Structures are given as structure tokens and as C-alpha cells.
Amino acid sequence: METREAVEKLHEWKTRGWLNSWAFVSDQIVIEFNPGSAVNMQPWIQTGICDQLGDINDNRFAIPVYSVPGLFYSQDHFQTSVVADDFANDLWILFYTQNDYLHYDPKTEKTTLGPDGRDAGHLMKNVFYGLKFKEELLRTDREENLAFYNNTAQREFLILSPEHGIIEIGYPVRTIIFDETENIRENYISLASMNTADEFLIYLRQQIYKILFPVERYRRFEELVKNFSKIVDLAKSDYSIYLSKFSFETFNQNFRKEKKEYFASIREISNKILSYVASIPVSISATAYAVYQVQTVPTFAYTVVAAYLVYSILTAFFLRLIWMDTKELGDRLIEDVKIVNERVKIERELVNSEADKVKNKILRVQFLIYLVQGFLVLLSMVILSMALMFLGLDVPRFLLCVAALIFLYALINFWPIEKFSK
């Protein structure tokens, strides 16, 4: 005989008034039929569901609850006996109320009342996940637990908040039946999948202490289960602030290190520029002296002028390459600042201020490069003017050389040579 049939039969006989009394004694449901009731209990006796009390004419029978899988006599019996493993099978509470039995289907997690199957919401599902919540909370197979001690004698477990101290979370003897409108499953999932990082658990324990401390000791577990998702959300908020501050300090230290590297790169670039600047006076002096000395030999003089112009153009080209290095530094700086500002939600002004110091140095170096290049153009004009004065260079050729020189300088500075350097 199936459990459903046994439960429905007992309720049918009760409704018809055939049951004189019923009670739960020593894990047995003891029922007594009224004399003359048309009840045949022999199939129940033969299948081992119940035992007859007294002689063959006695109308009293005992049904051991273990003989009918998943059967509980009453809500009180259920609350003092049920364990999480019982929910693997259908559950039945014979007298959940005076007039209704309760059924829980583990496949659908649905709870119904009475023969008409009235929906009881999350009633039994909440009981199951409440039991699972307690098991998860007191697990001993992981490195870090939320609770650090379970005192079964006092029916309490302890949670330590580093800031506030120890709080005792008392749990009742009876299994808690939560309101059917609650959804304890979500809170259990939140516990089972929560972040177990030491820093997060610190904030979680602090929130548990704050919220549960005003609650009466043996109601704290119930409130913890009902409000766990809310408590986790509050802890996550505190933890996020902590991570932001921690991340900022880390990023700030790294950024300062990066800033030193930027300054080192800028100094290296500046030294290169200075080496070119230092060679310019020597070059122009040597060229002017050579032109003056060999002006009687135009071929040599023109060769000296041409050599200086080639030197000047090559110097401008190398300065352009140095300018590209500074631009690459600036682009990398912008990208680094962007990454820091995306990850660090606070103290952005400080990051941007430090970045501006580097940007200003890069801009000064770029200005210096343009200044030196302009100086090279000016000196090249001076050399061409000397050629015009001392070597008899005609004006059209002079103007052609000037135009070619300006064109080459412009080409060096505005032609996108960086595309060909990648």
C-alpha cells in the first residue's frame, strides 16, 4: 500500500466518524475505531503496515511510522524528528492541522494541503533549505567557516566579529517551519556559494553581529536564515569599499613606480637631444670656416655646404624619431591612467594630478625638439646665405634650395613615418 493511499484512507475514516480516537505513542500512531465501523484492517496487517492491539475483536491498531516511508503524525512530530535526508522521498504529515494532512513532493518541491491539493507555497521547501542552511553553516570540511564553534549542548554556534567580539547564534530544539511566503532556498544558495576570502568573512561576521545582536538569543538562527541574503549584500558593499581602498593603494604605489620610469625615459630622451644640440655649434662653425677657406675652390665649398645640409636633415630626422618616443610615452601614460581610473573608483584626482606632472614634462621635451629643429632650419638658411654671398650662388638656385630644405623639414615632421616603424 502506498503512503498516499494510507493517509487518504485514515482521513476518510476520520471524516466519516469511524475513528473513535487517535494518538501518537512511542513512534506509533494508535487509532481506535468506533464499534460497527465498516473498516477492514486485515490488508494493512498482512502487509505489515500496522499491528492489531489486543485480541481479534479489539478495534485498536498501531501503525509504526517507520513502516510507512515519509510519514509523520503531526506538526510537532515532524519538527522534532525530521532531518534533511528525509526530503529525498515524499513527506506526509498525517494531522498537520485538525482537518488536513500535508504532502511534500521532492521532485517539484511543491507542498499541498488536504485531498484537494491546496497550494501551501514554499512551506516544506523552506524547512528543507533551512536544514541544509544549518548543515552548510557548520561544515567542517573546508578551511574557513563562518561559525567557528558549535555547542550542541547549549544549541548554539559562535561567530567571531573582530570588531565587536563573539555572538552566540542559538537554534531551537524543534526544526523551524518558516512562513510559506519566504524563499529560504535563495538564502541557502547565497551561503553555499559565498565568497570565503578571509577579508570578506570579516565584513560578513561584522554585519551578522550588527543585525542579530538585538535579537533574542534563540531566535537568532531563524533571523539569520531569513535575512542572510540581505546580510551578504551589506557585507559585499563594505567589502567593495575595502577593495577600492586597497586597490587604490596598490595602484598608487605601482603608478608612482611607473612615474619614476617615465621620468627616467624622459631624462634619457633629453640627454639625446642635448647631444645633438651640443654638436650643432661645432658643425656650423666648422662649415662656415670651411666655406670661407675654400671659397676659391667652388666644388669643395659646395660639397661642404651640401654635407652640412645632409647632416642638418639627418639630425632633424633623428629628432623626429625622438619626438615619436615621447609621443609613445604620452600614449602609454594616458592608457595607464585610464586603466587605473576604471579600477579605482576613489581618489581619481590624485591619480590625474600625478599623471599631469608626467604629461607636462613630455610636452616640454616635445617643445624642445621643435625648437631645436627650428634652430636647424635657421642655421641651414645661414649656410645657404653664405653660399650665396661667398660662392656666387645665383638667386633662383638659392630659392630652390631653400624651398627644398623647407619641404624636407616639413616632410620629416608631418609625414607619418611612425606607421612604417611598427
Tens-digit pLDDT profile for residues 116-131: 888 888 888 889 999 9
Alpha-carbon torsion, ordered 361, 363, 365, 368, to 10 deg = -140
| pLDDT value of position 103 | 92
Tell me how crowded residue 393 is: count the other CB atoms within 10 A of its CB: 19
| pLDDT above 80 for 216 | yes
Q: Which residue has the cell 531569513?
A: 226
111 Cβ contact list (under 8 Å, min separation 6): 102, 103, 104, 105, 119, 120, 121, 122, 123, 124, 125, 180
| pLDDT value of position 104 | 92
Mean pLDDT computed over 170-175? 86
Tell me how crowded residue 36 is: count the other CB atoms within 10 A of its CB: 8
Distance, CA of 105 to CA of 195 (rounded, Å): 32
| pLDDT above 80 for 137 | yes
Q: In terms of residues, how long is the chain?
A: 422
Per DSSP, the three-state class of 313 is helix
Top pLDDT among 219 and 382 is at 219
Per-residue b/e over 263-280, b at no fewer than 16 CB within 10 Å? eebbeebbebbeebbeeb
Mean pLDDT computed over 259-286? 59
For strands 102-105 and 91-95, give the pairing. Answer: antiparallel
pLDDT-based confidence at 295, cuts 50/70/90?
Answer: low
Mean pLDDT computed over 342-346? 56
pLDDT-based confidence at 393, cuts 50/70/90?
Answer: low
CA torsion through residues 115, 121, 122, 123, sign: negative
For strands 156-161 and 149-151, give the pairing. Answer: antiparallel
DSSP secondary structure string for all residues of 142-206: SS--S--EEETTTTEEEEEETTTEEEEEE--SSPP---TT--HHHHHHHHHT----HHHHHHHHH
The pLDDT tens digits for 88-103 are: 889 999 888 888 899 9
For the chain, domain boundaries = 3-120, 129-241, 248-420
> What cell numbers appear for 336 in the block?
595607464
Is residue 337 a contact partner of residue 377, using CB atoms and an 8 Å limit? no
Tell me how crowded residue 5 is: count the other CB atoms within 10 A of its CB: 9
Determine which of 38-52, 182-196, 349-363, 386-400 has the lowest per-residue pLDDT on average. Answer: 386-400
Tell me how crowded residue 303 is: count the other CB atoms within 10 A of its CB: 13
Query: Which among 327, 215, 220, 216 is positioned nearest to 266, based on CA atoms?
Result: 327
Distance, CA of 255 to CA of 257 (rounded, Å): 5
Is residue 238 a contact partner of residue 202, using CB atoms and an 8 Å limit? no
pLDDT-based confidence at 112, cuts 50/70/90?
Answer: very high
Determine which of 43-47, 199-203, 213-217, 281-285 has the lowest per-residue pLDDT on average. Answer: 281-285
Residue type, 39: V
The pLDDT tens digits for 10-55 are: 888 888 888 888 888 888 888 888 877 777 777 777 667 777 666 5
